[in-house]
Structure 1
C-alpha cells in the first residue's frame, strides 16, 4: 500500500514538474519570438506549480 502511494505521488510530482518546464520553455520562446508572453504558457506554469505544491502537501500529510 505504501509503495503504491509513494509511486503514485512520485509520478504526480514528475508530471507536474514536466508541465511547469514545458510552460517555462514555451514562455521563453514566445517572449523571444513575439516579444510578449502568452496566456497558455502562464497557465501551464501556474497549473504545474499548483499541482506540484498540492501533491507535496498531500504526500507530507500522509506521512504523519
Structure 2
C-alpha cells in the first residue's frame, strides 16, 4: 500500500513540477521508480509466501 502511495505522490509532484518549471525534476521521477520497484518486490514476496 505504501508503494502505491509513493507512486501517486511521485506522479503528483511530477505534474506539479512540469506545470510550474516546465521540466520534470529528479525527485518525482525517483519516487515513481522507487515506488514501482518496491511494489513489484512486495508482490513477489507475497506470491512466494502463498505458494
Does 2:48 align with 1:50? no
Moved beyond 6 Å, runs of 4+: none
TM-score computed with the length of structure 1 as normaliser: 0.77
Q: CA RMSD in A?
A: 0.5
Q: 2:11 and 2:41 mapped to 1: Cα distance?
A: 19
Q: 2:43 and 2:28 mapped to 1: Cα distance?
A: 22
Q: 2:45 and 2:26 mapped to 1: Cα distance?
A: 28
3-state DSSP of counterpart to 1:37: coil
Q: 2:24 and 2:12 mapped to 1: Cα distance?
A: 11
Corresponding residue to 2:15 among 28, 40, 46: 28
Q: 1:57 and 1:27 mapped to 2: Cα distance?
A: 27
